[in-house]
Amino acid sequence: MRRALKRAGLSPAPKDFVETPGIPPPPRTSLPGEPPGTSTPVDWAGFFGRVAPVEVEIGSGRGRFLTDEAAARPDTSFLGAEIELEYTRIGQTRAEKMGLTNVRFARLDGRAFVLDRVPAGSLAALHVFFPDPWPKKRHTKRRLFSPEFVRGAALSLVPGGLLRVATDNLPYFEAIREVLDAEPAFEKVPGSEAGWSSGTDYERKYEKEGRPMGRGIWRRRPEG
């Protein structure tokens, strides 16, 4: 197992992340190569080995969107934050097969990572595509897009930085739009609900099925 993880560019799960029945594990916010429980702000230049604009995708899945973006924009560094270990491995393997050195994938709790580890004003863009809608009323509090997260997302972006959102769950998209529009540090990019696609595996599948999509781009205000 450890050899397989090493080939994928990943670190094995630290002991304090081993799940115990009845006891929720701590949020995963440590990057590969960091000690478990690291809480200091991320040194992006040290992590990527260069100084470049950084973009993060929360819930990167199999990594199609980020690897396509990384191939098209070699001057930007990308991080995929994905909670599912198997998807993290798939994304990292895809990047390695494509010969990409400007994108990395890590098993992370995206919400906690943005709120606790990402330095203020350090991201050029944040991407959230097809987040879990948690449709049952009793689970609504588990949704990613809370006022707290949205405020943290705004603070993580450089002035003018973008938050791109897509989902096939239209009621959830309306809830996302409401909380984003209520955040003073964000402004909606006019016309951003059409004319673009995330290109993720989910979106390609859902478009073939004819599902309607909710899309939008919000920008951190220059004075925010």
Instruction: Report, as residue numbers or ranges, the catalytic residues.
Output: 132
Alpha-carbon Rg for the chain, nearest whole angstrom, is 17
Give me the count of residues in the chain: 224
Q: Which residues contact 121 (CB under 8 A, 6 or more apart)?
A: 155, 156, 157, 158, 159
Chain-centre distance for alpha carbon 139: 21
| Contacts (Cβ under 8 Å, ≥6 apart) of 134 | 140, 142, 143
Angle (CA) 161-164-169 rounded to 5° is 155
Q: How far is Cα 82 from Cα 214, in angstroms, rounded to an integer?
A: 22
Residue 42 to residue 31: CA distance in whole angstroms: 9
Instruction: Indicate the residue type of 180.
Output: L
Structure tokens at 77: 């560094």
Distance CA 66, CA 74 (A): 11
Q: Burial, 88: exposed, middle or buried (Cβ in 10 Å; 0-12, 13-18, 19+)? A: buried
